[in-house]
Chain A
Amino acid sequence: MNAPAASGYNFAYLDEQTKRMIRRAILKAIAIPGYQVPFASREMPMPYGWGTGGVQVTASIIGEDDVLKVIDQGSDDTTNAVSIRKFFEKTTGVATTTATGEATIIQTRHRIPEAPLTEGQVLVYQVPIPEPLRFLEPRETETRTMHALEEYGLMHVKLYEDIARHGHIATSYDYPVMVAGRYLMDPSPTPKFDNPKMHRSAALQLFGAGREKRIYAIPPYTDVVSLDFEDHPFEVNRFDTPCALCGASGVYLDEVVLDDRGRRMFVCSDTDHCETRRADGHRGADGDATP
């Protein structure tokens, strides 16, 4: 048996029949980029909302030689990321890392790492609501027909109403994309800042929604285009200042509170990116502060 000694679990927790079923779903997802493949989601020893879809995908692809990184927002150290990393350490014994460049599998809840991903890496997203049309049309039979007929007019109407109301498209997370020119896809709670990173990425991107029982995929080097209009082109959020710690600009920043007097600063959300830059000698305006 390949189960880690004394754990009592099968390797990566899932039984082999479940893994085969999920693996077959992943293969179909890769062959039909952006299409949501139904699968028989299993109970995992963690609540829904803790990324059980992503965990099942990772458990089905991971092998002994993999190096796993888990992030929540951009950080490896939040409760969710730590508990998922520990789950896989316990059930597989694989090596884990916080360094993006060393990982072969990266499981994420929101962010895509700032450092460009490479061929052979797999990015696994934990998805709460996989259906981009769900808030416009609650009936599954209807949304399925809309995807079948490529009827995405409702989504354009919704975005255009945003423009009429706010002067711009207000959606800043979950911003819908077209995959390989065919399927409308929900990038999960990823900030739209990261949408361009999905476009023609060298990495394979897999999405797992546990409660909603869906798996979908973007193969490497696949077109991922954020919906927009000629007079209102897609734009990413911009940050006025560079990272206070490492001085990086053009990255996604989080506001952090520095002390109990309410002093704040903006720092890289991707903690590995920030630490790597600082180790390389880069310093921001508050470079010596402790976040």
Chain B
Amino acid sequence: MRDTKMADLSTPTSILSPGLPEAVREAQSVFRSLMMALARPGTVRRIAVPVQSPGNLSPAATAIALALCDFETPIWLDEDLSSDEAILRYLRFHTGAPVTPDRGKAHFAFVSSGTQMIDFDAFSPGTLEYPDRSATLVVPVDELEEGRGWRLTGPGIASESRLLAGPLHPGFVTALAENRLLFPRGIDVVFVSGDRIAALPRTTAVEV
């Protein structure tokens, strides 16, 4: 990993794409979608706010960052995202969140694609005393559809639910299974696709 470059602060902010136009209402709406996605693993929800996402960051990932990140939540970006000055500037300006090159310190981690191998172990799973001190990983996928695909069980799921998310690296499901064994520690995963999201909290068991 190379160090994340500082954004060029001399660039006028007027060229930045805007954040949430109606921040109070829209942040609530984004949070509520994410809350229900996490409470009902495998359900796909729409992020119903207009965002002009910077660079390669998907609209839903951008909306999550705008709604939930601030100076208290270090963000980690993979190499592809962190090498894009427009993304760095946008996140710094609109969220105030520090962008960290240290995955272990990240509260929110954004990757450019799920097809690369993502090293779950590098992110904080929290401690047994404080399992909430853990990272949320936001993964973009092309396909995100409920009702078919993986079989999901666990809290938030009446009997079982089905979720198709992809394409993903072949090691992704194994990483999810290992992550679940850490419970109550672990990271939580949010899939984003365009303006849609689905979530897999650390409690969800995934069968291919």
Complex alpha-carbon distance, A175 and B25, angstroms: 38
**Contact-residue bracket for chain A:** 35 or more
Interface of chain B: mostly helix, strand, loop or mixed? loop
Cross-interface CB contact of A16 among B24, B132, B184, cutoff 8 Å: B24
Interface assignment of A247: CB less than 8 Å from any CB of chain B: no
- Please name the residue on chain B nearest to A29 by beta carbon: B132
Q: Which of B69-111 touch A at CB < 8 Å?
A: 69-70, 72-73, 107
Q: Which residues of A contact B24 (CB under 8 A)?
A: 1-3, 10-11, 16
**B 131-170 contacts with A by CB, 8 A:** 131-132, 134, 136, 155-158
Residues in B whose Cβ lies below 8 Å from that of A155: none
Contact between chains at A182 and B32 (CB < 8 Å): no
Cβ–Cβ contact A221 & B183, under 8 A? no
Q: How large is the interface on B (under 10, 10 to 19, 20 to 34, 35 or more residues)?
A: 35 or more
Within A28-59, the residues touching B (CB, 8 Å) are: 28-33, 35, 37-38
Whether the Cβ atoms of B32 and A63 lie closer than 8 Å is: yes
Partner of A63, one of B29, B157, B202: B29
Contact with B along A114-143 (1 / 0, CB 8 A): 000001100000000000000000000000
Q: Which residues of A contact B131 (CB under 8 A)?
A: 28, 32, 35
- What is the minimal beta-carbon distance from B191 to any residue of chain A, in angstroms? 15
Query: Which residues on the A side are within 8 Å of B70 (C-beta)?
Result: 17, 20
**Chain B neighbourhood of A145, CB < 8 A:** 129
Q: In the complex, A23 Cα to B127 Cα: how many Å?
A: 21
Does A148 interact with chain B (Cβ within 8 Å)? yes
A238 within 8 A of B: no
**Cα distance, A20 to B30, chains bound together (Å):** 11
Note all chain A residues with C-beta closer than 8 A to B36. 120, 204
Partner of A23, one of B25, B68, B184, B188: B68
Q: A20-B70, A62-B28 are in contact. Are A37 and B132 (CB under 8 A)?
A: yes
With A180-B155, A220-B156 in contact, is A27–B40 under 8 Å at CB?
no
Q: Is the CB of A23 within 8 A of B132?
A: no
B173 within 8 A of partner (CB): no
Q: Does A21 contact B (CB under 8 A)?
A: yes
Listed by A's residue number, 28 A-B pairs whose Cβ atoms lie within 8 Å are A16-B23, A17-B70, A19-B27, A20-B70, A23-B31, A23-B35, A23-B67, A26-B35, A27-B38, A27-B136, A28-B132, A31-B38, A31-B188, A32-B131, A32-B132, A33-B155, A33-B203, A35-B184, A38-B132, A60-B31, A61-B28, A61-B35, A64-B25, A119-B40, A149-B128, A180-B203, A204-B39, A220-B156
In order of increasing CB-CB distance, the 3 nearest A-B pairs are A148-B128, A31-B201, A2-B24
